[in-house]
Structure 1
């Protein structure tokens, strides 16, 4: 009888241990890669810190570059869970190739194109770009940088594009344009208003006239190859939350509700 009791006690102990282990399943850590336009650089750091502080177990990796570069990375299979583009054409290209989850696509932000120059510049406006004292003007490469495409549209609309061609210095992304102006490597540049607001070394000379470029919108969408669709969708919802909106507005973005 004593042996039987000992045996039953052992069986019960094993059963309880197995059940206990099963109930303590730990969730697998999640590392989300957010491929976002370079113009989101400053806001991205704050958004990452805030989200990680509220979602333990989730790590956010911000992959910041020109929207065209990010588009190509995704097309070539580079890891990405959510794509935030500064232009519709890059998102459209991924959509046509079936690389995004269509129902997750949403216009998140708006922005404005501005002409900037050094703090001490005497530049008066877009028409002044043709003057002899302006030797170099930087814009993003139109084929891969949405800000560059908007810049080309604006200069074309103002009938300045052909005349300014010899002065144009192309940059890999909008932040490089800003750096060129800050360091005096160029006399002027066309960037987003949000980029200009981050720099104490440049001033806004003029805003692009209404209708001179396509509306500047930042669409976002979950990448179809993600292993973390649910978590990527949760982060996308976070980007539309009141806390995220405050961060975007702090840096001058227009939030689209």
Structure 2
């Protein structure tokens, strides 16, 4: 047997043995286990945190903020605004006593000053938001008074004003009556009430023949009429300061709302209700 035949014979033997043993000349390729990526539509969306802001504001702001609140909530659906209205003095006292408030809007600087002295507001958020005017009102169907000096008349039995101890509108009214040297003459006629809206109610119902309120409050009622716009020189400037409280649970959101109150849409609403944005 020549060499070529020997090599061929041996090759056949090797191939036959490998086939019997089931061996392979190549390592098998192992396919990696690939898991499909889950569809992003199956991943629940990240929800924004729901936030509630409590805004304590002077009673005279009730109508304007009542219109602004839903406008802001529509733009910031995760933020719920809770408005707490009252006299600025009462609201100030609530804050001092620990009421959970995020934003305070006073109808005078005095109450805000007191809170700032106690370090209860974030000082660099404080600003003067609005101004207002003081007016003399009487029932719409009466003409017992046409100006402030008529308050001494016998036909005027009761004059409603806010309690000067806690109501800025009452403090301004007292300043006016003092400046005109009328306070002593009308002192016994004064009915002191808890907030400026109650002054309006007393005159509307006829329980008072006259009252001193903000122009913005008089504008809300058809049951009273303005007989005199009071000279601003007779009282301290009427300004509405605003600030975020130190103990606000959501100061960033509170600052955002504060900024919104100075925006053009908010200014338009304030002007509609008789305020002058600053």
Normalised to the residue count of structure 2, the TM-score between the two structures is: 0.85
Aligned to 2:60: 39
* Deviates most, 203-212 or 130-139: 203-212
- The aligned counterpart of 2:111 is 90
Aligned position for 1:49:
70
Structure 2: state its 5+ residue gaps: 1-27
Shift of the alpha carbon at 1:35? 0.6
- Correspondence for 1:227 among 224, 236, 249: 249
Deviations 1:5-48 (A, max 9, x none): 66x74xx97xx79xx96x94422101111110000010011110
Q: CA deviation at 1:227?
A: 1.1
Structure showing greater Rg:
2
Instruction: Quote the Cα distance in structure 2 between the aligned partners of 1:24 and 1:195.
Output: 46
Contact 2:133/2:232 (<8 A) preserved: no
Matching of residue 74 in structure 1 with residue 95 in structure 2: yes
- Structure-to-structure mapping, 1:1-257, within 5 angstroms: 9=35, 24-122=45-143, 123-256=145-278
Task: Work out the CA distance in 2 between the residues paired with 1:119 and 1:31.
Answer: 40
Aligned alpha-carbon RMSD (Å): 2.0
Q: Say how many residue pairs are matched.
A: 248
Aligned equivalents of 1:55, 1:28: Cα separation in 2 = 11
Secondary structure of the structure 2 residue equivalent to 1:169: strand
SS in 2 for 1:117: strand
Which runs of 4 or more aligned residues in structure 1 lie more than 4 Å from their structure 2 counterparts after TM superposition? none
Q: What is the distance in 1 between the residues matched to 2:67 and 2:148?
A: 34
Q: Where does residue 10 of structure 2 map in the other structure?
A: none
Deviations 1:210-232 (A, max 9, x none): 31100000000000100111100
Q: CA deviation at 1:208?
A: 1.6
| TM-score when normalising by structure 1 | 0.92
Give the secondary structure class of the aligned counterpart of 1:32: strand
1:196 shift after superposition: 0.3
Unaligned runs of 5+ in 1: none
Work out the CA distance in 2 between the residues paired with 1:228 and 1:246.
27
